[in-house]
Protein backbone atom coordinates (compact mmCIF):
# COMPACT_ATOMS: atom_id res chain seq x y z
CA UNK A 1 0.00 0.00 0.00
CA UNK A 2 1.32 3.38 -0.99
CA UNK A 3 1.56 6.46 1.17
CA UNK A 4 -0.16 9.73 0.41
CA UNK A 5 2.11 12.67 1.04
CA UNK A 6 1.17 15.92 2.70
CA UNK A 7 2.40 18.73 0.48
CA UNK A 8 2.85 22.18 2.02
CA UNK A 9 4.02 25.63 1.04
CA UNK A 10 7.39 24.64 2.53
CA UNK A 11 7.91 21.28 0.76
CA UNK A 12 5.97 21.70 -2.51
CA UNK A 13 8.99 22.51 -4.66
CA UNK A 14 11.10 19.63 -3.34
CA UNK A 15 8.32 17.01 -3.22
CA UNK A 16 6.32 17.94 -6.34
CA UNK A 17 8.26 20.14 -8.74
CA UNK A 18 11.56 18.24 -8.30
CA UNK A 19 10.00 14.77 -8.14
CA UNK A 20 11.56 12.13 -10.38
CA UNK A 21 8.11 10.69 -11.16
CA UNK A 22 4.72 12.21 -12.02
CA UNK A 23 2.80 13.65 -9.07
CA UNK A 24 -0.95 13.84 -8.42
CA UNK A 25 -1.78 16.74 -6.10
CA UNK A 26 -5.19 16.94 -4.45
CA UNK A 27 -5.99 20.51 -3.36
CA UNK A 28 -8.64 20.16 -0.63
CA UNK A 29 -9.94 21.48 2.70
CA UNK A 30 -11.47 19.62 5.66
CA UNK A 31 -14.81 21.46 5.40
CA UNK A 32 -15.27 20.61 1.69
CA UNK A 33 -17.86 17.84 1.17
CA UNK A 34 -16.87 17.09 -2.47
CA UNK A 35 -13.24 16.85 -1.29
CA UNK A 36 -14.26 14.15 1.19
CA UNK A 37 -16.03 12.32 -1.65
CA UNK A 38 -12.86 12.32 -3.76
CA UNK A 39 -10.52 11.31 -0.90
CA UNK A 40 -11.18 7.52 -1.09
CA UNK A 41 -10.65 7.59 -4.86
CA UNK A 42 -7.34 9.41 -4.42
CA UNK A 43 -6.33 6.81 -1.81
CA UNK A 44 -7.17 3.97 -4.24
CA UNK A 45 -5.15 5.66 -6.99
CA UNK A 46 -2.23 6.05 -4.58
CA UNK A 47 -2.19 2.28 -4.00
CA UNK A 48 -2.83 1.26 -7.61
CA UNK A 49 -0.13 3.53 -9.05
CA UNK A 50 2.43 2.87 -6.31
CA UNK A 51 5.93 3.19 -7.73
CA UNK A 52 4.75 5.01 -10.86
CA UNK A 53 3.03 8.06 -9.36
CA UNK A 54 3.56 10.13 -6.22
CA UNK A 55 0.21 11.11 -4.66
CA UNK A 56 -0.40 13.78 -2.07
CA UNK A 57 -2.69 16.44 -0.72
CA UNK A 58 -2.47 20.19 -0.12
CA UNK A 59 -4.77 21.58 2.56
CA UNK A 60 -5.66 24.92 0.98
CA UNK A 61 -6.63 26.45 4.34
CA UNK A 62 -3.15 25.81 5.74
CA UNK A 63 -1.13 26.33 2.53
CA UNK A 64 -2.55 29.37 0.80
CA UNK A 65 0.76 30.22 -0.87
CA UNK A 66 0.89 27.19 -3.17
CA UNK A 67 -2.88 27.30 -3.73
CA UNK A 68 -2.63 30.94 -4.80
CA UNK A 69 0.44 30.26 -6.96
CA UNK A 70 -1.55 27.75 -9.04
CA UNK A 71 -4.78 29.77 -9.11
CA UNK A 72 -6.86 27.29 -7.13
CA UNK A 73 -10.30 28.92 -7.07
CA UNK A 74 -12.44 25.83 -6.48
CA UNK A 75 -11.82 22.65 -4.54
CA UNK A 76 -11.34 19.85 -4.98
CA UNK A 77 -8.83 20.55 -7.72
CA UNK A 78 -6.50 17.74 -8.71
CA UNK A 79 -3.37 18.56 -10.67
CA UNK A 80 -0.86 16.27 -12.30
CA UNK A 81 2.74 17.46 -12.49
CA UNK A 82 5.47 15.88 -14.58
CA UNK A 83 9.05 17.14 -14.69
CA UNK A 84 8.02 20.14 -12.59
CA UNK A 85 5.27 21.24 -14.98
CA UNK A 86 1.49 21.04 -14.72
CA UNK A 87 0.26 18.57 -17.35
CA UNK A 88 -3.39 18.18 -16.28
CA UNK A 89 -5.97 19.82 -14.03
CA UNK A 90 -9.26 18.30 -12.91
CA UNK A 91 -11.69 20.59 -11.10
CA UNK A 92 -14.51 19.25 -8.96
CA UNK A 93 -15.42 15.75 -7.86
CA UNK A 94 -14.92 13.39 -10.79
CA UNK A 95 -15.35 9.63 -11.14
CA UNK A 96 -12.26 7.48 -10.78
CA UNK A 97 -12.23 6.65 -14.50
CA UNK A 98 -11.90 10.34 -15.41
CA UNK A 99 -8.94 10.71 -13.06
CA UNK A 100 -7.14 7.54 -14.16
CA UNK A 101 -7.57 8.50 -17.83
CA UNK A 102 -5.72 11.77 -17.21
CA UNK A 103 -3.11 10.06 -15.07
CA UNK A 104 -2.47 7.35 -17.68
CA UNK A 105 -2.06 10.00 -20.39
CA UNK A 106 0.40 11.95 -18.21
CA UNK A 107 2.46 8.87 -17.38
CA UNK A 108 2.63 7.77 -21.03
CA UNK A 109 3.77 11.11 -22.44
Catalytic residues: 32, 35
The residue among 59, 47, 68 whose CA lies nearest residue 1 is 47
Helices (H), 1-109: 12, 33-48, 64-69, 96-108
87 by DSSP, 3-state: which? strand
Amino acid sequence: MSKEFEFTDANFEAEVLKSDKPVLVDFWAPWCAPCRMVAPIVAEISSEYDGRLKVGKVNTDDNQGVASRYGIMSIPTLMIFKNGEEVARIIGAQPKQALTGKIDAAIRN
